[in-house]
Structure 1
Amino acid sequence: MTLQDARQYAPATDRNREPILEVLSQVLPGSGTILEIASGTGEHAVFLASRLKDYMWLPTDIDPQRRASIIAWTKHLGCNNIYPPLELDVREPVWAVEEGTVTQWLDTSPITAIVNINMIHISPWSACLGLMAGAGRILKAGGMLYLYGPFKQSGEHTAPSNAAFDESLRAQNPEWGVRNLDDVVAVASGQNFTLKQTYQMPANNLSVVFQRSAIGGSDRT
């Protein structure tokens, strides 16, 4: 397999990458490393990192073929502010970024934001719980957690297409499905995240922005 052959493609990326960039440009902290959870093909990583040059980008994915695609895209486009992708399962009690040599990468540029695009509806609810728990461990006060995807609001689908999508997801795996935003906010709140803003996005998706609050007036050490 050649380097170029390893690149994978997600058609939705072309539709949503510019709107995602627009939101991130408004809400990201001033500096640091952006940890992307479930980076998939890597197309978002290379597009966003190449335009957010004040940040380092740390992609992750549980799938080795996806990680190969991230590497291939990074080399193809010559992005120099992207770390090598890490294997990461959000349900693990300790993430790879919390131990080993990876922590040395982050000494000069700590993680100040976590980005998660199109994951929690195509994974078990335990993945959302794990994502929030990991974000709570890693981000300090003021850190940002960004989610992108379809959500129910007040328990209701926001469009017929989302209802049909939800049905198709549950047919593939009964543990999957479009999540109720109120449930996600409640889990985030339990990890000391405050919902700051939601943005309407293409194809009836939302950008959901959380900010890490201080605990008892001061952040954990």
Structure 2
Amino acid sequence: MPGDGAAAEKRHAPATLRNRDAIADALADWLPATGTVLEVASGSGEHIVHFAAAFPYLDWQPSDPDPAGLTSIAAWRAEAGLANIARPLALDAAADRWPVDRADAILCINMVHISPWAATLGLFAGAARLLASGMPLILYGPYVEPDVPTAESNLAFDANLRARDSAWGLRDTGAVKAAAADAGLAFAERRAMPANNLMLLFHRT
């Protein structure tokens, strides 16, 4: 299992520097006081080291389905040297079984639009399995909203995603909320974020 990475293996996602503080502001309102936060699809690992430093009273569990992503997360974790970041787990959100059996909160950043819809359904099913009643699932990313004009930049991004993979694309928040409700997750709050992104908060019923 990845856990010790070299600096050369670190990936960089430029958007992280632009959005991590705004995301942390919302997390400060939505995360529990203590416990373990599972991040699904941690990507490069840059977000989780930032949040682990910002919220030292929480334990942070990174995960990703991509071996290169796991290596990058391990490298960022090793450099940060923070005791509250666990070794990254290989986790496919769409899988019926995850390598973790509980969490006090689940965070998922920029996965829903860059994955098949099955990954989102799996995320909701997994959150329903792991979270206790009232605990949060938090999503961040670009979405299409009913009765809200979609920014031209998001329309262009959506077209680009669908050209790369027909199973990808910006999801309608109505469909996301309905799928979450079917899994036992109640929508609680929408927060507008910079660069036409949203944060969506759900609670396990």
> Given the two structures, how large is their TM-score scaled by the length of structure 1?
0.88
Q: Which of 121, 137, 140 in structure 2 is aligned with 1:145? A: 137
Distance 2:29 2:124 in 1: 22
CA deviation after TM superposition for structure 1 residue 118, in Å: 0.1
Tell me which of 66, 81, 86 is aligned to 1:83.
86
Q: Could you tell me which residue of structure 2 aligns to residue 219 of structure 1? A: none
Tell me the distance in 2 between the aligned counterparts of 1:157 and 1:116. Answer: 24
1:170 maps to what in 2? Answer: 162
- Residues paired across the two proteins, number: 201
Alignment of 1:191-206 (within 5 A): 191-206=183-198
Establish whether residue 13 from structure 1 lines up as the match of residue 16 from structure 2.
Answer: yes
Corresponding position: 1:30 with 2:33: yes
> Which ranges in structure 2 are unaligned for 5 or more consecutive residues?
none
CA RMSD between the two structures: 1.2
Per the alignment, residue 68 of structure 1 pairs with 71
State the match for 2:153 in structure 1.
161
Larger radius of gyration: 1
User: How far 1:158 moved relative to its partner?
Assistant: 2.3
Report whether the alignment pairs 1:3 with 2:6: yes
Any conservation in 2 of the 1:91–1:129 contact (CA below 8 Å)?
Answer: yes
Q: Residues of 2 paired with 1:113 and 1:135: CA distance?
A: 9
The C-alpha deviation readout for 1:174-203, integer Å capped at 9, x for no partner, is 110000000000011112211111111111
Q: In the alignment, which residue of structure 2 is the partner of 1:212?
A: 204
Deviation at 1:29, TM superposition (A): 1.5
Residue 92 of structure 1 deviates from its aligned partner by: 1.0
Alignment check: 8 A CA contact 1:38 1:119 kept? yes
Q: What CA distance in whole angstroms lies between the structure 1 residues aligned with 2:27 and 2:6?
A: 30
SS in 2 for 1:210: strand
1:109-128 alignment, distance < 5 Å? 111-128=103-120
Task: Write the distance in 2 (CA, Å) between the matches of 1:7 and 1:92.
Answer: 26
TM-score by length of 2: 0.95
**Structure 1, unaligned stretches of length 5 or more?**
99-109, 214-221
Cα shift readout 1:97-154 (whole Å, capped 9, x = no counterpart)? 03xxxxxxxxxxx511000000010000111111001111111101100000001101
Map of 1:97-112 to 2, 5 A cutoff? 97-98=100-101, 111-112=103-104
- The equivalent of 2:43 in structure 1 is 40
Q: How far, CA to CA, are the matches of 1:175 and 1:74 in structure 2?
A: 31
Sequence identity (%): 45
